[in-house]
Structure 1
Amino acid sequence: MLKFWNNARLNRLLSIAQAKVAKQSLSGYCKKYDFVPETNHLSQATRLLHTGRVLAKYNKQSNQDDEDETDDVGNVKEFADERDSKVVKANVHSLRADLLIKAGLGMARNKVETIFYESKVRVNGKKLNKKSVQLNVGDEIDVIRGFSHSNPSHLVVSRVIVLDFSNREEGYSVQLRRYKSLLIENYSGTNAYKSSDTVQH
């Protein structure tokens, strides 16, 4: 009998403690959302206990969402600078070739247009015929500066490689690897560069 009475008393105390915690949670919730609870047939303790459980479930879900957001931010790839290159981060409206050249090499828009019309741009070794062509991860953009002074069969180029991109509210956040000056063999066939310009490398 004494054991039953102690269990009943313990359960009652536990319910009161839970109701107090729930009441505190409810008052904070009511203040936050300017909400006045209506009286119904349930006892105040039961209502508060139910509300406390709902709030605990909501808080648990909210904490999980916060952790998921943190994980998403943690998934951003980081690229290190390598020899003769630098990683450039930029925000662009689209992945057009001309915008990526501008962002990667820090060129003015009119300069980008000039080199395009002079056929000095190659994407993955092929002549760029449209400035608006959309690029992707791994694509290489070469801006030809001229023939090498010391080795006329080679070209001096500035190269931009698309490393990674992610969607933003407006456009994309991109990571590009920039080589300011590279010595490469001239392209073959119709993509070959033909000019008398020479550059010191």
Structure 2
Amino acid sequence: MRLRKKHWARPELEACSFVVTNQYDFKGRWLQVFGNNNDIYLELGCGRGKFISENAINNPDINYIGIDLKDEVLVAAKRTVEEKFKRENKEVNNIKLIPMEIAFIENVFDKNEISRIYINFCNPWPKLRHNKRRLTHTVFLNRYKKFLKPGAQIWFKTDDTDLFNDSQEYFKECGFSISYLTYDLHKSDFKNNIMTEYETKFTSMGLKTMFLIANL
């Protein structure tokens, strides 16, 4: 369903201390933005913020950046972050949210800035002529490689079998090795999975989540 434009969303984002709207100004300087030397993990398409907020609460020694295109969605993520940190009586100091189109990602981060990327339930773009829009396609993987550290990982989850199978080939073609792979994450031996809103909803409907870890 297409979201109706909410004109109050951008002002709310701009007023938030952990939302960055001038992201292109900080290429190569993200550790300065966070004020520490901790690894930076990047979620592409952070949705309503459940996944990134729980990760940040559980791992205070990791910096997290979440990106999403729609202001209306990112406002929900911002509020989720605020609520979760408030319940834990903690300050929001290891999350930044960015409203932007992921296609321009290489203009935001510089060489060796990112240690891990999360791609959770991205659009599968099933038509062949649209495959290059997939966030796991070689077109995007080659962009990520420009700012990933050596040995960095991409954690990828989906419920679309064709996308999952094709993505395995994309990763291999771009020089990634797959260190973990399962076609049924919730029945696998993988521990400490954090479910997204989408994952929670569709798991309750009996759909399987496929998951892999690709290493650079």
Using structure 2 for the length normalisation, give the TM-score: 0.20
Could you say which structure has the larger radius of gyration? 1
Higher relative contact order (CA 8 A, sep 6+): 2
Using structure 1 for the length normalisation, give the TM-score: 0.21
